[in-house]
A and B are shown apart, each in its own frame.
Chain A
Amino acid sequence: MSLSTLPQFLLRNAREFPDAPAMREKDRGIWQQWSWAQYLDRVRAIALGLAQLGFGRGDKLAALSDNRPQVYAAMLAAQAAGGVAVPLYQDSIVRELRFVIDHADAKFVLAEDQEQVDKLLELKASLPKVERVFYVDPKGLRHYADPILMPLDELERSGRALAAERPQRFEELVAAGRAEDIAVLCYTSGTTGAPKGAMLSYANYLAAVRGMIEVERFERSDEMLAYLPLAWIGESFYSLGCSLVTGFTVNCPERPETVLENLREIGPQIVIAPPRIWENLVSQVQVRMEEASWLKRRLYRALMPAGEDAARREMGKQPLGLGLRLRRALGELLVFAPLRDRLGLRRARYAYTGGAPLGPEVFLFFRGIGLNLKQVYGQTEITGLAWLQRDGDVKLGTVGKPSPNVEMRLSEAGEVLSRGPAVFAGYYKNPEATAQTVRDGWLHSGDAAMLDPDGHLIVIDRIRDVTLLGNGSKFAPQFIENKLKFSAYVKEAVAVGQDRPYVAAMINIDMENVGKWAERRAIAYTTYADLAQKRAVYDLIGQEVERVNRDLPEATRIRKYVLLPKELDPDDDEVTRTRKVRRGFVAAKYGDIIAALYSEAPSVAVSTTITYQDGRQATLQTELAIRRAGGELAPAPA
């Protein structure tokens, strides 16, 4: 059989190394393993079960679940049956789900548990095309009588019965798959407008994976932890694509809250995380160090700079010198290796950050503790990964060079364009958007970038976000926001300034870290909104703003800032599910605050709308202090 679809790779793996581990999930406190033969067995049963219910070529199975082996098996099964997997963000609220499931024409939906089933049943009347809802975990669902529901186990059983009758049926179905078939419909939340369904074919996946493994040395014995949303291309690229092609093991965490613990237990060779997670890890280390013993703290403070200095020099291809080498070796022994171990990164050969830019300080931190962290870059529309930094050629602030099978250039406006076999097959049912995005075979990324003299790509910001300040200086908000977000105390930041006289920032404090900081200083607080308005917290964040300002050119320094009374939340449409700020929406929603940032007002009264998980809304009334950066303080309300 040819190897042109993902299910065909599954058959190959089960044939060539049937007993090697394919999947693991921690259940009842113990890591349970599926070999490739068992994985195939599950996929076969589910695929035949689906086929028996009339699921065929081009049909869509949507998946609404955390990362679980059964869910990967069901997605592969849908593909084996000739259909398409449509992974959904598991924390989507019903309104978003309704749009995507309906737009994708999903015939079946796989839900993880009662919580997800409840969302789907609530939507049932508005999803006439959905014929069945399968579920993985039956807890709490015993007395649900809706005939649309079916346990995944039951689907598997019916599939097994068919497999017994027609043993070759599954292989026939898989053999019928072609490279140009659509494997996954990947809905991109986008920072503007309704989600679009990017159609990714097997050819796209395999091209992207082959580009990657031409550069990186993934082994069959490698492990990865699959904990990112299935709907994010950066997840399925590795856990479906790379894993099936190279045969490495995908580990699913016990629960979303146990990810860091599970990371440490597995000690994966391949680690993928978006900036948010890397930033979290740095914050955690910084906070832990504050609380550590005197000796540990001294060692950390003395040796960390050596690690970062050495990493910086290496990236700049400068010599290290004997003294630095020695200090780094000492650091490795006393600080870096234990720290990597602590974080579950001890065995990591490759660590990647992608999905959004990562602040250089965070990047340097991890390179400094000896982790081979590399920036990757791409879009859903090019199957996730098109640029990556090469070992020994990592430059700070760049995303490296294109994958071997990606051709790239910059448009005159500085937009990143790319071409190659990984470029997607178009947006589902949206030829206009497709035509806008792919012109003459070139994928238009919407990102503004430049090339450094060595051909490394430097991504600046979304091209439409790069604007001018009122004084004519160029202003890239993301650049400033990322600098702010390096602080353990800043969770999110939005910089504004287009056509304004100066840059101002709206900041979300990090509740956990600021909360701990406040506790140590015996500052009493009740809620997030209350904590954010404490005078001392404003002072704390003020120091961070000044730190950022020191690295910025005079013209684009932050002049005023405000601490928001609630976190920006995808449920409120303020950020996407992958935590990218929806700039236009935020500017409109917080128009009053922005106006106040450009007035002389010492504070601004706001009422904010909060959407709960179940869709209910509530309004929050607060008085927010406006602070001027660099000393002169507008009074904060008590």
Chain B
Amino acid sequence: MTQSGPALLEIRSVSKRFGGVEALAEVSFEVRRGEILSVIGPNGAGKTTLLNCISGFFHPERGHIRLEGEELSGLAPSRVAARGVARTFQNIALFRGMTVVDNLMLGRHLHMRNGVLSSLVYWGPARREEVAHRRVVEDIIDFLEIEAIRKRPVGSLPYGLQKRVELGRALALHPRLLLLDEPMGGTNREEKEDMARFILDVNDEWGTTIILIEHDMGVVMDISRRVVVLDLGRKIAAGAPAEIKADPAVIKAYLGTKPVADGVAA
């Protein structure tokens, strides 16, 4: 695994309420450059809310979210994306009627420089740009081994493959920080293993920093460098997978009394 460097993302005392519910309360941690960090916790712990705060879908009432020192909280999602933060969603967010290639090309839109007019003419710079982006997309297709479904409409694909395409769509942004919200949810064992391998490969080959939300503890403990545990909106533990497995507070939050075993779902 890649050597972890200084903090890429800094989360300082972030709080978020929905009416009377405190979804996040004073959550603080750092994500180091080049690491895979998992956020775990029982349902309703605030994991997805946290991702939504980072990616700009929600704005926290208090606290700071800084990417390499630059404040993200308060920015619109598109602005956050433009700063190199890409994400996938629990319930796949792709254009179902469009092909895999087209979905990935859309993932490149942030990097497109040509305006509507020159794109309409599709000659010279616009065409060259399209070709360059297609090359990037083809690299991702090759990387994720989805050549066989390149031209298939996303809606016609099995769920596990859609998840993989969604990862591809996020990768097309060439993000500095990748947020994965349950990339293995609802997939079978083989698809899980494939996805785990792709996540490791993305981290390894491109040095992409990854925040992962996942319920499968076996996967989390296998591929994360560090784990942050949330419970009822509060951070109750953070550390290496081995430390987390032995942490009494984590064990209590998850199961009451028994130790966290590999593969136990929340």
Where the two chains meet, the residues of A that have a C-beta atom closer than 8 Å to any C-beta of B are 26-29, 139-140, 142-143, 254-255, 257-258, 261
B138 near A142: Cβ-Cβ < 8 Å: no
User: Quick check: is B26 within 8 A (CB to CB) of the other chain?
Assistant: no
A28 touches B204 (CB 8 A): no
**Does the CB pair A28–B148 fall under 8 Å?**
no
B148 neighbours in A (Cβ, 8 Å): 254-255, 257-258, 261
- Determine the chain A residues whose CB is within 8 A of the CB of B141 once the complex forms: 28-29
Closest 8 CB pairs of A and B: A257-B148, A28-B138, A258-B148, A254-B147, A255-B147, A140-B201, A29-B138, A258-B147
* Cα(A255)–Cα(B148), bound, Å: 7
In the complex, which residues of chain B have a beta carbon less than 8 angstroms from the beta carbon of A261? Answer: 148
| Residue of B whose beta carbon sits closest to that of A254 | B147
A-chain residues with CB within 8 Å of residue B200 when the two chains form the complex:
140
CB within 8 A of B143: which of A26, A139, A142, A143?
A: A139
Query: Is there a chain A Cβ closer than 8 Å to B1's Cβ?
Result: yes
Contact of B205 among A28, A139, A257 (CB under 8 A): A139
The total of interchain contacts (Cβ-Cβ below 8 angstroms) comes to 34
Cross-chain contact B147 with A143 (CB below 8 angstroms): no
Interface membership of chain B positions 171-213, coded 1 if the CB is closer than 8 angstroms to chain A and 0 otherwise: 0000000000000000000000000010011001100000000
- Write the residues of chain B forming the contact surface with A, with a CB cutoff of 8 angstroms: 1, 134-135, 138-139, 141-143, 145, 147-148, 150, 197, 200-201, 204-205
Residues of B within 8 A of A140 (CB): 197, 200-201, 204-205
Contact B204 A143 (CB under 8 A): yes
A116 to chain B, nearest CB (A): 14
Are A29's CB and B150's CB within 8 A? yes
How far, in Å, is B34 (CB) from chain A's closest CB?
A: 13
Report A341 CB to chain B, min CB distance, Å.
18
| Chain A minimum-CB-distance residue to B150 | A29
Q: Are B135 and A28 in contact (CB under 8 A)?
A: yes
Bound Cα distance from A257 to B161, whole angstroms: 14
Q: How far is the CA of A511 from the CA of B1 in the complex (A)?
A: 40
**Could you say which residues of chain A place their CB within 8 Å of the CB of B197?**
140
- How far apart are the CA atoms of A142 and B134 in the complex, in Å? 25
Is there an interface contact between B205 and A143, defined as CB atoms closer than 8 Å? Answer: no
Contact A28 B139 (CB under 8 A): yes
Q: Which residue of A lies closest to B151 (CB)?
A: A261
Task: Tell me the nearest residue of chain B to A260, going by C-beta.
Answer: B148
CB-nearest residue of chain B to A29? B138
Query: A139 vs B140: C-alpha distance in the bound complex, in angstroms?
Result: 12
Taking CB atoms, residues of chain B closer than 8 Å to A143 are 1, 204
Asked whether A255 and B145 contact (CB < 8 A) given A29-B150, A139-B205, the answer is: yes
Q: A29-B150, A255-B147 are in contact. Are A142 and B205 (CB under 8 A)?
A: yes
Alpha-carbon distance A142/B201, docked complex (angstroms):
10
Chain B residues with CB under 8 Å of A255's CB are 145, 147-148
Residue of B nearest to A256 (CB): B148
A3 to B18, CA, bound (A): 81
| A28 engages B142 (CB within 8 Å) | yes
Contact partners of A27 in chain B: CB under 8 A: 142
- Taking CB atoms, residues of chain A closer than 8 Å to B143 are 139
CB atoms of B139 and A142 under 8 A apart:
no
Distance of A139 Cα from B200 Cα, bound (Å): 11
Q: Which residue of B lies closest to A138 (CB)?
A: B205
Whose C-beta in chain A lies nearest to the C-beta of B197?
Answer: A140
Question: What chain B residues lie within 8 Å of A26 (beta carbons)?
Answer: 147
Instruction: Tell me the smallest distance from the CB of A365 to a CB of chain B, in Å.
Output: 26
Q: Chain A residues near B147 (CB, 8 Å)?
A: 26, 29, 254-255, 257-258
12 other contacts beyond A27-B142, A28-B135, with CB at 8 A cut-off? A29-B134, A29-B147, A140-B197, A140-B200, A140-B201, A142-B205, A143-B1, A143-B204, A255-B147, A255-B148, A258-B147, A261-B148
18 A-B pairs with C-beta separation under 8 A: A28-B138, A28-B139, A28-B141, A29-B134, A29-B138, A29-B150, A139-B143, A139-B205, A140-B197, A140-B201, A140-B204, A142-B204, A255-B145, A255-B148, A257-B147, A257-B148, A258-B147, A261-B148
Interface centre among A27, A28, A255, A261 (most CB of B within 10 A): A28
Smallest distance from the beta carbon of A148 to chain B beta carbons, Å?
A: 20
Q: Which residues of A are found within 8 Å of B150, using beta-carbon distances? A: 29
Q: Closest CB of chain B to A69's CB: distance in Å?
A: 16
For B2, give the chain A residue with the smallest CB separation.
A143
**Which residues on the A side are within 8 Å of B204 (C-beta)?**
140, 142-143
Q: How far is the CA of A146 from the CA of B234 in the complex (A)?
A: 43
Complex formed: what's the CA distance from A391 to B133 in Å?
A: 49
Report the minimal beta-carbon distance from B4 to chain A, rounded to whole angstroms: 14
CB distance from A453 to the nearest CB of B (A): 48
Alpha-carbon distance A265/B256, docked complex (angstroms)? 59
Closest Cβ of chain B to A252, distance in Å, is 13
Question: Nearest residue in A to B138 (C-beta to C-beta)?
Answer: A28
Q: Which residues of A contact B138 (CB under 8 A)?
A: 28-29
Q: Give Cα A201–Cα B135 distance, bound, in whole angstroms.
A: 43
Cα–Cα, bound, A76→B245 (Å): 53
A304–chain B nearest beta-carbon distance, Å: 28
Nearest chain-B residue to A259 (Cβ)? B148
| A143 to B204 CA separation, bound complex (whole angstroms) | 8
Q: What B residues does A254 contact at CB under 8 A?
A: 147-148
Contacts of A29 in B (CB 8 A): 134, 138, 141, 147, 150
Cα distance A29–B141 when bound, in Å? 9
Contacts of B135 in A (CB 8 A): 28
Closest A-chain residue to B201, C-beta based? A140
Of chain B, the residue at the smallest CB distance from A613 is: B190
Complex CA–CA separation, A28 to B141 (angstroms): 8
- Is the Cβ of B1 less than 8 Å from the Cβ of A139? no
